Structure 1
Amino acid sequence: MKPLLLTFLLLFPLTFFAQDKLAYVNVDEVFSKMPELKDVETKLMAKSETIKKSLTAMQTEYNQMLERYGKTPTDSITQAIAEDRHKQMTDFQERYRVFSNNSQQELEKEQQALMAPLQQKLMKAIKDVGAENGYTYILNSASLLHMGTAAKDANGQVKAKLGITN
């Protein structure tokens, strides 16, 4: 009786998994084909170009400062003027560094803010497909090492839910 009970207790949990409906979706592929992504990429590219232009203008200004100060013979200026010029250049370098760092952080925040609604929309579509088709689990195929034949490919269903035609 004990071996039968032990066998039953060991095999009983497997019946639960046998009834589960599994599906998988390549989240990266579906996300990359979302139509709204083009608009987000365009906005980010425009912001990036604006930042790049500002950094280029600052670099040009710095180079002009170097050229202007380099033309003046060092023996014709006082110690105070030399120190002031050095301070101006150091301050400018710091301003450039701070602007560059702040701009990068701002661009990253903008990217997160623009991508968040798309990610939420994708997750909602996956949940809706799971609920509509009775899937117990929908897994990201990019992180799976093996997919058995019982798992269903839900890429097409999620793409349809998002209006992606290809």
Structure 2
Amino acid sequence: MNMKNTLILLALFLGLSFNVEAQKFGHIDAQSLLLSLPERVDAQQTIEAAAKEYEGEMIRMQEELQTKYGEYQAKATTWPDAIRQQKEKELQALDQGLQEFGQTVQMDLARMEENLLTPMIERVQVAIQDVGKAHGFTYIFDSSMGATLYNGGEDVTDLVKTKLGL
């Protein structure tokens, strides 16, 4: 009976040790890899061009508001109540329109960035998965996420760059 238990324990130990040895871990800084993609530069330029265009419109709207506010300050005391109240409503509407436009711009730029980056992120993820399968990795951890506590695995960045043609 003692010999039987010993053999069972030995078999379990050997099975576990083979299982542990079969695991292969890698790590990659996916964020820096994403930043190194040539299409990332193009995407950034597209976003910056749109932001500059929006900024020009925001400046134009602010100047219009400032001009009308200056006119209001200069003439408000001479206007009848009905005209003064109408000018105040116009100023409030311009100010609200400027604020709403600013929020719309932020949402549009965020959506544009997401639409441009999503295909790149997916491409990098597919390349990482392909490298993992081709080279027998059990796990590949993203060190840019700050979750890697021990960096003892193999750095697969060069393998993924090769897969991406970089």
TM-score (normalizing by structure 2): 0.88
Unaligned stretches of 5+ residues in structure 2: none
Amino acid in the other structure paired with 1:113: N
> Aligned pairs, how many?
161
| Pairing of 1:84-163 with structure 2 (within 5 A) | 84-142=86-144, 143-148=147-152, 151-163=153-165
Unaligned stretches of 5+ residues in structure 1: none
Question: % of aligned pairs identical?
Answer: 25
- The residue aligned with 1:69 is 72
Shift of 1:60: 0.5
- Hey, what's the Cα distance between the residues in 1 that align with 2:159 and 2:52? 37
List 4+ stretches of structure 1 deviating above 3 A. Answer: 1-15
| Residues 96/73 of structure 1: CA separation in 2 closer, same or farther (3 Å cut) | closer
Shift of 1:147: 2.1
- Hey, what's the Cα distance between the residues in 2 that align with 1:117 and 1:14? 40
Question: Is 2:76–2:84's contact at 8 Å kept on the other side of the alignment?
Answer: no
- The residue aligned with 1:42 is 45
- Hey, what's the Cα distance between the residues in 2 that align with 1:103 and 1:87? 24
Q: Secondary structure at the match of 1:135?
A: coil
- The residue aligned with 2:23 is 20
Shift of 1:14: 4.9
| Residues 129/79 of structure 1: CA separation in 2 closer, same or farther (3 Å cut) | same
| Residues 82/136 of structure 1: CA separation in 2 closer, same or farther (3 Å cut) | same
TM-score (normalizing by structure 1): 0.88
Shift of 1:134: 1.4
Query: Which of these residues, 32, 35, 48, is aligned with residue 32 of structure 1?
Result: 35
Map Cα deviations across residues 74-110 of structure 1 (whole Å, 9 max, x no partner): 0x21111111111111111111111110111011001
Q: Secondary structure at the match of 1:161?
A: helix
Q: Secondary structure at the match of 2:150?
A: coil
